[in-house]
Structure formats: C-alpha cells, structure tokens
Amino acid sequence: MLDAVLELKKFQDVANVSTFLLDRSTSTLLLGARDAILAVDTERLDQEPKVVGRIIWDVPEAKRRACVAKRKTKVDCNNYVRLLEFLGDGRVYVCGTYAFDPQCAFLELSSFTLETTEGEGVKMETGKGKCPFEPSQHYTAVMAAGTLYTAAASNFLGTLFDISRGTGAEQERIRTERSINWLSDPEFVSSAFIQQSASSNPTGDDDKIYFFFTEVAKEYDLYTKVKVPRVARVCKSDVGGMKTLQRRWTTFLKAQLVCEDKPSGQRYNILTDVFTTEHTPGDPSSTHFYGLFTSQWERDELSAVCVFSLSDISKVMDGPFKELKKTSDWTHPEPVPTPRPGQCLNKALKDEGFDSSLKLPDKVLTFVRDHPLMDNSVTAAPLLVRKGIRYTKLAVTQTGSGDERRGAVLHLGTDRGELHQVAVVGENATFLQELSLFTSQEPVNNILLHRGRALVGSPLSLARVQAEGCALYSSCAVCARARGLGCVWSTGEDACRRTTAEPGPGDIVDNALRKCDVAEGRCNPSMRELRVSVGLPLLLPCVQLSPRSCSWEHPPHRHTRQHHSDLQVTVTEDSLGEYICTCQEAGPGSRDPTPCRRAAYQLTLEGPIAGGTVAEAGGRHIVASYIFMFLMGLVLGAFLLHFVMRRCSVARQGHHLPDNSLSSDKGRDLLGSSATAQSPSSASLLSDGFRLTEKRNGTATTNTTTTLFSNQGNGSPHGNSFGGALIHSNPGNGHGNSLYANCNTNSGDLQFVANLLDGRTGERPEVIERKFGERDEVDEGLGDVIKGPEEELARFPNFKLPAPLALCEESSI
C-alpha cells in the first residue's frame, strides 16, 4: 500500500540520489545526491514541510575544469555523495567523488552543516579507498564500532581495488594485498558487521566484517572470463603482520557463493544486492544473507534470490584451503601450519600468547597470503526465480516471532520503478502484489525498512510503502495469497486480518482463494480470452516463481518458441485455441516438485489486418494454390519467351548476331531460371514481437503489427514490393535478382516483367540496365520481341482474377 511519494527534483533540481542513511530515533532520512545532502522527515512525507535540511557541497569551478581536461565528462565532474555513515559522536562521515578526487567531510547533525576550517572552507580529508572515483563505480562500506571498513577502487583509472580499514589510528589502517589471488577485478555489492554477543560467544571469538562481491574467477581455466560471487571475511582486531603482510590483512579469507537450481542445473553467478537480517532478533548467530542474483550467460532479464546462513559461511571458512599447483589443478595444500591461518583471535589463541596478529609466525602469514580462497563453496537453492524482470534492490520482512515464524516477505525493487512483494513460505514463493512507484526511467536503488514501512528511493524520488501486517493486502484474493504468512480475509470487516489459526491440509493458498468470490486460484488461473489477428506476433507471459521448469500446452503447430517461461506466438488460423502454462513447484509439506498451472489463455480470431487492407484470410491450401498457379504461369511465360527467341534466332541465321544477344547464355541471365516461394526468416518475425501485457499496468495491448518484407539488395527506389509475400529467384543464376509479388497477383502486377527488360515503350534501346547496375548490349530487334511474352502472360486467367489478400505460409519460429 503506497503512502506517499516525494519528488526530490522539486528542491532546486536535486538529482542523482544514491545513498540513504536513516536516523531511526528521529525517523530522519539523509540522502546523498549530486552536489547536495538532504534531510527528510519520513513521518511527514505526505505533509509540509518534507525536507528539513539541505546542504550544498559542490566542486570549485577550477577543479571541475581540471577534471574535464582529464577527458572526463562534465556531468561526472561533479561531487556525487556516495557515503553516509554515523560516527557515534553526533556527527556523520560524508564522502563524495569530488570530480574524480574523492573527499570526505564531517556533518554536524545538530546544526545540519559541514564542519569548516578557519578559512571558512569545508574541512575535508582524502577519500581515496573510502569512496569511488566515478559516480557509477561499485563500492560498499560499513561502520563497525566507530571504525569505517570499505571496499572500493583505490586509483583514478579504477584498476586497483582494496578492502580496507579506512578510519582509526594510522598504524591500524590496513588493506588487502595487491594480488589477483585476493581480488580479481571485483564488483563490490554489500558489507555487514556481525558483532558477537557475550551469551552466544563462549570461545571469545572476535567480531567479523563480511564483504560480498562478484569477481573474475581464477580457479577456472577457460577462454572466457567466468564471474563468480564471493563472500570475504576479515576480523575486527586484525592489525596486520610484523614482517610478512605488514599493513595487510592477516585474516582475509574468501569463499564462493553458489546459487543453483540443481534439478535444472541453472546457476546464477552475478551478485547484485545482499540484505542482512537476523532470523531471531538479538541473536547474531541467526544472521542470514539474502542475495539477489542474475546470470552471466543469460542475454535476457533474469533475477533469482538465494539465502545463505552465517553458520554455513563459518563452516566453509573453517574448512580446507584451495591451492593452485603448476599442473593447473586446484588441490588441498598440505600441511596447514598452526595456529590455523586466517582465524580470528579468541581465548584459545590468547592463552597461547597470540594476543595480536603482530605476533603470528611468518609461516602462518605466508600461507594465508598465498591461500586466501577456500576449497568448499557456500551453496543454496533459489527461493525465487523471475525471468523477464530485472530486480535491482532487495529487502526482507520476517513474519511471526521466535519459533512461530511463518515465512518472509521479499520487497523487490525493479529497474522500472516498481516494487514487487513476494511471500516465501517453506519451499513456495507466491507473488502478492506489484506497486508502480516511479516512472519507468527511474530504477529503484535503495530500500530501507523502518517501523513497518519501506522507504523506497530512486535517483529522483522517494516513496513510503506499507511493508508489514496483513492490513496492507486490500483485497480477498491478495489476502488469500498471504495465507501462509498468517493472514485471513474477514468478510464482516471486509479487510485482511492476522490470525493464529493454522491453515487446513492441502494447498493453503488455493483453499483460501476458494473462499473468495473469485474462480482463480494460485494453481488454477482463470482463462483469459485474447482477441488477436492473423500475422500478429505476441508474447504470452507466465510468471515463474519456482526455479523449476515450465512447459506450455498449445495447439499443434510450429509458430511458437518458448522464451524462458514465456511463449512467443505468431498468430495464424492454426494457432488459435488454448495456451496453458504449467510450472513445477514444491507441493504442500513436500520438497518434491508438483505441477502448478500458472497461466491460461484463449486465442480468438478478431479479424486479420495485413498491408493496410482488411480482407478475410484464406486457408493455407488456398494460399499455396495461388502460389503454385503464379509459379506455373511464370515458368510457362519464360518457356514462351525462349521459344519465340529461338524462332527469331533461326530466322536470322544469315545475319551476324553478337555474342551478347538473348540467344546467348549471358542474355538468359536477365530472367531467373526459377522462382520459388521463400518464407520470411524467424528473425524478421521476432523483431516485431512484443509483450502482450505491459509490465507497468498489466493491460493488454491489441495493436496489430503488419510487417512488409522487401528486398534489401535490389537497389530500386520502389522496392518492387507488391505485398506481404517474398519470392526469391534461384541463387544459382549468379545475380541474386529477387522478384516480389503478392499471393493475389493480377494482370497489372505482371508489369514487373516488362520493367525488368525495360521494353515497355516498344523502342529499341541500346542497352538494358539490370537491377545491380550491370549493362548488356542487345540486338536492335529486341524491342519487338519483348512485347510478345508480356501479352501472352497477361492472358492467363489466374493473373486476372483477384485473390484474397493473405500472407504466404511462414516458417516456424
């Protein structure tokens, strides 16, 4: 349920908002934008005043010109505020790109001003390694007990990357080793600080910071660059080594994240966002990381969600290391020195005298320097897969409390300004609703959860949406889909309410939907009738939530192609009928896949439109008969022309004929040896395909698309196009001349024969120009010969009778 939308561009052209920081005590939201920082009261988004503070932090003109002189665009040579973090002393640490020279400053919350120096200029310090150089560079940062940990590019060219401790004592500012074994062209996504509680940490283990990113894998020796998602871990008390790994992490370890649907073998290897949450509030050991993925090998939009537990990541970090030998095979290194490389300080290590990373032996530091990658992977199966949708941000709301926790609601922002809510209960994911928040040009780039609401941001706008509670489901059908979350529709109140009653046996969503005044269930969608026209290319959507495969039932013809879970159809008379999409999903109380019907359509002929003329479409046999009659007439005409020329040649045996007359082989090339009907290519048909339902409003589009096929290489300004059918000459003639004709050719259409020979006037031309600009000299008597075949061909009745205007038979797509 949408509460309010604030258009930030109204405030003196504020744009390019990229960073959120929420003061939960006052519900004040700080937004980092281009050359500006805003403070917004989220409780008063629907009232005035909405913006409670605004700071301009721009770049001096001289520095801007110097940035442009380095071949950077004028737009990028602004100050894009990319980092906002609380320092814990009433101040906020603020960093911006500052015309490709990152700088950081201090924001006083009480006065909402930037600290200044004695000269009244903004007090700044270098932001290299803390903030990106470019506005669009990937980076992440997290504040841990007042100390900033960042992962970002560390040079102007964006070729060096560091995970570093960015603030604190100078001697404790350490970073990663400059080695491709540590970081290989990474794209940083997210970071999280996990602070151990005394009750759940009997071993006294150190607090840890986790970084999530995608990098180019070095363990795969392939021709293409394979990207893999990673999770890396460093320890809070790490200060580097004494001799080896000086000012470098001694606890840096990383492992691969695997989000894979094993039944289909589909793996999602590009990590785009991570949301961190505790399944049991107050218990850090119950932390789970919800990852948003896409695939490197899919050319179309694809999104998947996998969840990884902190305990699984810890097990992998405590497992075997991976090592690359000279044989190019990754093996387990042996022996592993003691104390174990990469582990955080705990009571046991301190009892052995290792109370600081500076006291670790060189053999331990050398080992961890050369073996940062773990052998095992952290694996998970997708909770959700959506094809045809690109999700950009993710937030998760847990439902229930403690052991009564029922499931989760995924709040997913799209690249088209929409917010999708999906309920995940057990192995099933149910699409609840879609909210259009911004324009299609504004992707969702931030989602924050606060007091039962979701604060959703784009580069130009801010929206507030109800995120928790059954009351946000405004209809019985949507409430029924949330039955697994503990919601039930109250007919007396005409509202969705929370219930503690357990659902009955069977499919709880279908049972709840049957109580509503709708015939549609989760696995029993209502049949949608679509009025279509012959020749219309369309795409039938099928919302796939489960990562398992989907299949279609449709009339037996060849004019379909499955595009992921959706189905591409080119409408013909044979393609009319029912289309049913069935997906494999987990059954109630079972992990085994069961069929679930997701979509059902009935295609009904409305009336074809082709070439701008409305006419009844004939059957394929009628079209084929006209093509056959036309081809037979063309062949007979060519035979008559050849016969007349032979007689003319015999009559002129006493004269000297030049070699380039029509009696020679060169002259015969002016007429195609044969003409066969060719179907339009699949690519031509697919290029005009469009989605039947628009993503933003779900309304059906019924505009008929007509495609005219023309010869791309004839060079004629008119194109010799007589309709929708395309007829090619035999390519063996060496010229590639193409004759264009409609399936309902009449006598007037045969003028193309005379046009080809250029003998319409009866004059005796000196030369004949062929379509590709070639010239052949001819005998002076050629003009008299041309008139005969044209008159003979015009006598055939099939060229005089009009035929129904219909497309010729198409090939399968």
- Please give the average per-residue pLDDT across 333-346, as a whole number: 87
pLDDT recorded at residue 596: 83
The pLDDT of residue 687 is above 50: no
- Please give the average per-residue pLDDT across 228-232, as a whole number: 97
What's the rounded Cα separation, in Å, for the pair 226 and 123?
43
Report which of residues 726 and 262 the model is more confident about.
Answer: 262
Report which of residues 571 and 728 the model is more confident about.
Answer: 571
Q: Is the bond leading into 797 cis (omega within 30 degrees of zero)?
A: no
Main-chain dihedrals φ then ψ at residue 472, nearest 5 degrees: -75, -10
What's the rounded Cα separation, in Å, for the pair 25 and 355?
37
pLDDT recorded at residue 808: 37
pLDDT recorded at residue 586: 66
- Per-residue pLDDT of 429-481, as tens digits, reads 888 888 999 998 999 999 999 988 999 999 999 999 988 888 888 888 888 88
Stated pTM of the model: 0.71
pLDDT recorded at residue 266: 86
- Per-residue pLDDT of 700-745, as tens digits, reads 333 433 332 333 343 333 333 333 333 333 333 333 333 233 333 3
The pLDDT of residue 673 is above 80: no
Among candidate residues 402, 394, 381, 190, the one with its CA nearest the CA of residue 278: 402
Contact 700, 692 (CB under 8 A): yes
Query: Residue 180 in 3-state DSSP?
Result: coil
The pLDDT of residue 667 is above 50: no
Q: Which helix (H) or strand (E) holds 276?
A: strand 270-278
Residues 6+ away with beta carbon under 8 Å from 89: none
Range 509-535 burial, b when 16+ CB lie within 10 A, else e: bbbbbeebeeeebbbebeeeebebbbb
pLDDT recorded at residue 4: 79
- Please give the average per-residue pLDDT across 536-545, as a whole number: 84
- Per-residue pLDDT of 139-193, as tens digits, reads 999 999 899 999 999 999 989 999 999 998 888 999 999 999 999 999 999 999 9
Mean pLDDT (the chain) is 76
- Per-residue pLDDT of 386-427, as tens digits, reads 888 899 999 999 886 655 567 899 999 999 999 999 998 887
pLDDT recorded at residue 747: 37
What's the rounded Cα separation, in Å, for the pair 43 and 734?
76
The pLDDT of residue 257 is above 50: yes
The pLDDT of residue 676 is above 70: no
CA atoms within 13 A on the CB side of 366: 6
What's the rounded Cα separation, in Å, for the pair 38 and 17?
9
Query: Any idea where the domains of the chain sit in the sequence?
Result: 2-453, 470-514, 528-607, 615-799
CATH number of 528-607: 2.60.40.10
Contact 33, 18 (CB under 8 A): yes
- What does the H/E/C string look like for 636-703? HHHHHHHHHHHHHHHHCCCCCCCCCCCCCHHHHCCCCCCEEEECCCHHHHHHCCCECECCCCCCECCC
Report which of residues 293 and 764 the model is more confident about.
Answer: 293
| CATH fold label, 2-453 | Methylamine Dehydrogenase; Chain H (2.130.10)
Dump the DSSP string for 727-759.
EEEPGGGSS--EE---TT--GGGGHHHHHHHT-
pLDDT recorded at residue 415: 94
β-pair partners for 230: 213, 256
pLDDT recorded at residue 74: 94
Lowest mean per-residue pLDDT among 69-83, 676-690, 793-807: 676-690
